[in-house]
Amino acid sequence: MPSPETREFSVEARQAPSPAVKEFIHKVVNRVHFFPDRHDIELELAAHIEDSMLFLQEEGGLSQEEAEKAALERMGDAVEIGIALNRQHNPVLGYIWYFSRIIAVLLCIIVIFQSVPMLLVSGWTILFDHPIRDIPKESIVRHVKPNELIKLDSRRIRITDVIQTEDGDLHVLYSSYNLSFSGLHGWSSSGLGIFKDEDGETYFNGGGRSSAGIYSRARRSLDNFPFEKEKLIIEWDYAGRYYKVEIPLGEVVNNG
């Protein structure tokens, strides 16, 4: 009996089956309800009958017509063979296997197509895109590395560097990712909160940038942060979420 697995046959080397053989094979495969296997079964049955015919012709000295008739008789009842093959080629399992293969391939193509750009962007960010490179080294007058980890819902923010440059701008550098993978579809909050100094003065003006992807690095720059201030306070107080990070800024060096 042919197995459910695909087998290769050298079809070209074999003759086309006669109408009687075709009819026999047709009766068999008609009982097989898993259509995708029918072609393989047809090929295997045809090969089997032909082998049997050749054997009968060579060993038994029968003519082609006699050998064909005898070979078909040896095969047995076509309907019974078909029923047995249908049990072996279970259509329920067969169709689940068949469509699961198609769905898996399609999903694989879609996921690769969608995720590769995201992975490339994140890889680029991790390897090359550090916003500290936006800041000329010679302009730095204060630089601290707080390495503060902030947990805000499923978002994780790490403040890596706070740098003040000679023009008074204070740059807060941080990386973030989201445990809910929301960065994958591009929707997530990227804010850091309200910036204050130790006297409660708030700072809004400035700029910044942030990279996209699963893992992002960002820079938030505050204009004209006074050199005499000793602390940067970052506070989030909204919709039931609260955090406060106090970052000592250290001494100003090389100012002016």
The residue (of 79 and 107) whose beta carbon lies closer to other proteins is 107
> Cβ 107 to other proteins, closest distance in Å?
4
> Rule CB under 8 A: is residue 158 a binding residue for other proteins?
no
> Which residue stretch of 74-82, 157-165, 185-193, 197-205 sits at the interface with other proteins (rule: CB under 8 A)?
185-193
Interaction with other proteins in 76-115: which residues (CB under 8 A)?
93-94, 96-97, 100-101, 103-104, 107-108, 110-111, 114-115
> Rule CB under 8 A: is residue 20 a binding residue for other proteins?
no
> Rule CB under 8 A: is residue 244 a binding residue for other proteins?
no
> Cβ 129 to other proteins, closest distance in Å?
21
> Rule CB under 8 A: is residue 247 a binding residue for other proteins?
no
> Cβ 109 to other proteins, closest distance in Å?
10
> Rule CB under 8 A: is residue 187 a binding residue for other proteins?
yes
Helices 78-88 and 19-29 sit at what angle, rounded to 10 degrees? 40
SS (H, E, C) the chain: CCCCCCCCCCHHHCCCCCHHHHHHHHHHHCCCCCHHHHHHHHHHHHHHHHHHHHHHHHHHCCCHHHHHHHHHHHHCCHHHHHHHHHHHCCHHHHHHHHHHHHHHHHHHHHHHHHHHHHHHHHHHHHHCCCHHHHCCHHHEEEEECCCEEEEECCEEEEEEEEEEECCCCEEEEEEEEECCCHHHHCCCCCCCCEEEECCCCEECCEEEEECCCCEEEEEEEECCCCCCCCEEEEEEEECCEEEEEEEECCCCCCCC
> Rule CB under 8 A: is residue 149 a binding residue for other proteins?
no
> Cβ 181 to other proteins, closest distance in Å?
5
> Which residue stretch of 66-74, 78-86, 176-184, 245-253 sits at the interface with other proteins (rule: CB under 8 A)?
176-184
Binding footprint of other proteins on the chain (CB under 8 A): 4-5, 93-94, 96-97, 100-101, 103-104, 107-108, 110-111, 114-115, 118, 152-155, 178, 180-182, 184-185, 187-189, 236, 238-241
